Structure 1
Amino acid sequence: MIALINGLLIYKSINYIIVETNGVGYQIYVPLTTFYELPDTHQHITLHIHTHVRQDAISLFGFISGEVKNMFELMITVSGIGPRLALNILSGISPEELIRAVSHGNLDRLVSIPGVGKKTAERMILELKDKVVKLSTYEALYDGDGNIKVYDSIIDDVLSALINLGYKNQRAREVLDKIINESSETLTLDTLLKKALKVLAG
């Protein structure tokens, strides 16, 4: 089974992308949340892959992070939810918000996702409520208006990356704290890392 692909992004559309590695082009289906984080074509990317095998086809589904992949694989355990619907759901809601909606039994939020009816939403709550607790590691920092600024898991990942690059723990933490405090937008891992490297290099 293919679990991870690192290669050159040679084509992208909202329907699928093609990543070339070792002379082979792989057609990969991605949720919109991953699509919007993709770089321009002819740049290298790494995607976490779920390989879906049927009698008549093998399909690859790609995700920008292992957390999103884990949520996808959890979604397809629900009765009536196949890979395409799971991909559609993750295009309409972030894993963090999905975890909150399921764990709190927020039926209205779930049925607001295109393709999800009341019965499907009810099955999601019934079958996933206990399971999503294990994935609920998305503690976050909020601004004064209650908007998410950055997830703790992202801060940890960026801090680890900076330390691996040779920066001191204390200095890296100071830079990250400053960026987060001054930011008026939700920070992704890529954005936070780039901002931190820019400050540290300056």
Structure 2
Amino acid sequence: MIGRLKGILIHKAPPWLVVDVSGVGYELEAPMSTFYDLPEVGREVFLFTHHAQKEDSVLLYGFLRESERRLFRDVQKVSGIGAKIALAVLSGASVDEFARLVQASDVTALTRIPGIGKKTAERMVVELRDRAADFAGGPASASPGLPGDPLAEAITALQALGYKPAEADRMARKVAAEGDVAEAIIRKALQSALR
């Protein structure tokens, strides 16, 4: 089992990144909360990882903070929730924000996260309320942008998180400002969706 990686970030395009560790390139899927704080490509990065092996695939998930990995694992313990929705949770809300929503039983706000319907949100509240106080995280800050058109990259990333193309386009265009990098547009769009 792979628990953490330390190496050089050689590629990042939400939700995927590649870290070179002694000549081996590890491909990881990561939530936007991790992408917000990643260093520039070519810099060293330390990631907590979650190694998932299924019948037909082996996947590696990366997180900058232990609290994100813990929440990723805890959310998947709720019946009917898998890795895709757990990543959407971390992409749509910070660990602290998610804990606050669960403790407040804010089912409406939780359903704004892609892939979470009312019944799933209710299950999350019931099954995670006791553990929500143990979730600990910090605020995310924007990281340097990805190459290319930031708006197009933000729309693509929102679609990868489960939003329909038209909805992702609307969300990104609504919050995009002159000079914004893709991660900033994504963050603002996801924060706006929670309101």
TM-score, normalisation: structure 1: 0.66
- Cα distance in 2 for residues equivalent to 1:66 and 1:134: 12
Q: Which runs of 5+ in 1 are unaligned?
A: 141-147, 149-202
- Cα distance in 1 for residues equivalent to 2:107 and 2:82: 20
Letter in 2 for 1:78: V
Q: Is the 8 A contact 1:89 1:115 kept in 2?
A: no
1:109 is aligned to 2:144: no
CA drift of 1:114 comes to: 2.0
Q: Which runs of 5+ in 2 are unaligned?
A: 140-195
- Cα distance in 1 for residues equivalent to 2:115 and 2:84: 10
- Cα distance in 1 for residues equivalent to 2:52 and 2:40: 26
Give the total of aligned pairs.
Answer: 140
- Secondary structure of the 1:131 match is helix
Instruction: State the partner residue of 2:79.
Output: 79
Instruction: State the partner residue of 1:34.
Output: 34
- Cα distance in 1 for residues equivalent to 2:120 and 2:72: 15
CA drift of 1:133 comes to: 2.5
Runs of 4+ in 1 over 6 A off after TM superposition: none
Larger Rg: 1
- Secondary structure of the 1:134 match is coil
Q: CA RMSD in A?
A: 1.8
Instruction: State the partner residue of 1:2.
Output: 2
Instruction: State the partner residue of 1:45.
Output: 45
- Higher RCO structure (Cα 8 Å, ≥6 apart): 2
- Secondary structure of the 1:71 match is helix
Letter in 2 for 1:117: G
Letter in 1 for 2:94: S
Q: Is the 8 A contact 2:85 2:114 kept in 1?
A: no
TM-score, normalisation: structure 2: 0.68
Letter in 2 for 1:69: R
